[in-house]
Structure formats: structure tokens, C-alpha cells
Amino acid sequence: ALVLLLLSLLGLAAAGKLLVVPVDGSHWLSMREVLDILAQRGHEVVVLAPEVSLHIKPSKNFMMKMYSVPYTQEEMEKDFKAFLHTSFEEGSFIERFLNVYEHMKKLGNMSAACCQHLLQNKELMRFLEDSKFDALLTDPVVPCGVILAEHLSLPSVYFLRGIPCGLDFEATQCPNPPSYVPRAFTQLTDRMTFLQRVKNLLFDTQNLFLCDFAFDPFSKLASEFLQREVTVQDLLRKGSVWLLRLEFVLDYPRPLMPNIIPIGGVNCAHK
């Protein structure tokens, strides 16, 4: 009888209470299937979502808590479409970089404003503080969930493809030498001549600009909300588990830290 009681308690302990702070668009489409499976396995899932979104919709598999945002559906869709169009344009590196920079800045400002509205929602914050979650799952490409995990003192699980300007490499201290690893927009492979390695190094300087405009608003927001000076990189370092949607058959192989798990297969079609 005692053994049966202990086994039943282990079954109860297997399920947890998960807070999810997703990112809209294709990021959410990859995460949604994982949440469905977690719910089927007995976990309680609560998703924080803005009232205006592209794909984040209610589901019977999880609870959804909504919050208001300072922009309309039309404004958001217009900016997303402009960014996607720019991403596939041809032209010189300088032309592509400046276009992507401009549109990423617009999306970054929109994301920061969305995050600010979430963090300033006192009623929602009280609900989250009282709910006693076990962990927080988020895509740190928009680091709002990272800020929230620090505020709630929750272990965080990151579900991501990558972070602009290579901030994920720095936060995890993974080697990423420009002498060997091809950078975005270079169209180089792992086999480079000396001059190509120099070109790869020069392309890496774009990250100095991308990091500043992409994450500086969130660093200021985090410092104000947490009431201490902090950067996004400081918060990212506290991630418990990094679930990378990478597959080394398609992506450039690289060293991984013990808490980084490649899950590229999660995006594969299955029968």
C-alpha cells in the first residue's frame, strides 16, 4: 500500500505549471505544437498574449491571458509585411543592411511598447505573482519573457531559432569565431580563403549596431521595471535550458553548451 501511495505521488509531481510568453508569427507556429503536447501530458499551460496578433489564438489546450497594446491590427500587419518584403530583396550588402535595419527598428519599437504595456498591467502582474508557476517558456528574440522570468524568480526555458547580432552566442559563451563561422549576408561557406575570412570579420561589425538598437530599449525597460541596472545579455545568461530549433544537416555545426539542446526536428512534417 505504501509503494502504491508513493507511486501515485510521483505521478502527480510529474506535471507542472508553465507560464508561456511567446513571440508572434512563425515563432508562435513552431511553439504551439509543443504546448499542445505539454498540455496532453498533464501540464497546466498559461499563455500571455497581446490582444492584437497575427497567429496567437485561444486553444482548448491552454489558458490564455490577454493584455492591451498601443497599436492596431492594421499597423502591425503593415510593418510585418514591409519587413518580410525587405528580407527577400536583392542588392548590395549596404542596401540590404540599411533596409533591414530600418524595418527591424520599427518592429523593435513595437515589441518594446507591447512589452511595456504587459509589465505595467498591475492586475495581470498580480495574477502572475499569485499563480506560483514552476517555469517560464519564452522565445528570447523578444526578451520580454526574459524580463518577466527575472521578476517572478522563475527558471526559464528558451525556445528559439537564434537572436539578432549573435547575442545568444555571447550569453551562452559558445565559441563563434569569425575566422571560421560564416556570417549572415556573406554567402560564404566554411571553406574560406584568407581574404574571405577578412570579409567575414568585417561583416561581423554589423552586430555592434544591431545589438544597440534591437535590445537597448529592452535593457532600459528591464532596468526601470526591475529597479536596478541590468542589460538583456545579463538576463539571457540566466536561462536554464536553451532549446535551439537547429539541425546540423542544414545549419552550420558549432559547439554547444550542456544546457543547449538542438530540436530542429520539431519543425519537420510528420505522418
CATH of the domain at 86: 3.40.50.2000
Q: Give the per-residue pLDDT at 10.
A: 53
Which pLDDT score, from 0 to 100, does residue 190 have? 81
Residues 6+ apart with CB under 8 A from 196: 188
Give the cell for residue 153. Answer: 524568480
Assess if residue 47 is contained within a domain.
yes
Tell me, yes or no, whether 268 lies in a domain.
no
Contact 30, 15 (CB under 8 A): no
Measured between alpha carbons, how far is 66 from 79 in angstroms, rounded to an integer?
A: 22
pLDDT of residue 5: 55
- Smallest Cα–Cα separation from 129: which of 200, 57, 65, 42? 65
Range of the domain at 237: 15-262
Q: Specify the number of domains making up the chain.
A: 1
Note whether 37 and 20 are within 8 A (CB).
no
In a domain, 271, yes or no: no
Residue 52 lies in a domain: yes
Query: pLDDT value at position 266?
Result: 78
pLDDT at 77: 86
> Is 3 part of any domain?
no
Strand partners of residue 18: 45, 135
Q: pLDDT value at position 86?
A: 76
The DSSP code sequence of the chain is: -HHHHHHHHHHHHT--EEEEE--STHHHHHHHHHHHHHHHTT-EEEEEEESS-SS---BTTBEEEEE--SS-HHHHHHHHHHHHHHHT--S-HHHHHHHHHHHHHHHHHHHHHHHHHHHT-HHHHHHHHHH--SEEEE-TTSTHHHHHHHHHT--EEEEES--GGGHHHHHHT----TTTSPPTTS---S---HHHHHHHHHHTTHHHHHHHHHHHHHHHHHHHHHTS---HHHHHTT-SEEEE---TTTSPP----TTEEE-GGGGS---
Predicted model pTM: 0.86
Q: How far is CA 114 from the centre of its chain?
A: 15
Residue 270 within a domain: no
Whether the CA torsion 6, 11, 14, 19 is positive or negative: it is: negative
Cell numbers standing for residue 73: 491590427
Give the model's pLDDT for residue 8: 55
Tally the C-alpha atoms within 13 A of residue 46's C-alpha that lie toward its C-beta: 16
pLDDT per residue, tens digit, the chain (271 aa), is: 655 555 555 555 568 999 999 999 888 988 998 999 999 999 999 999 999 998 999 999 999 999 999 989 888 888 888 877 877 777 777 777 777 777 777 878 889 999 999 999 999 999 999 999 999 999 999 999 999 999 999 999 999 988 878 889 889 999 888 888 888 778 888 889 999 999 988 888 877 777 777 788 999 999 999 999 999 999 999 999 999 998 888 877 888 999 999 998 876 766 5
Residue 55: closest CA among 27, 92, 96: 27
Sequence-distant (6+) residues with CB within 8 A of 198 are none
Q: Would 267 be classed as within a structural domain?
A: no
Q: Residue 182 falls within a domain, yes or no?
A: yes
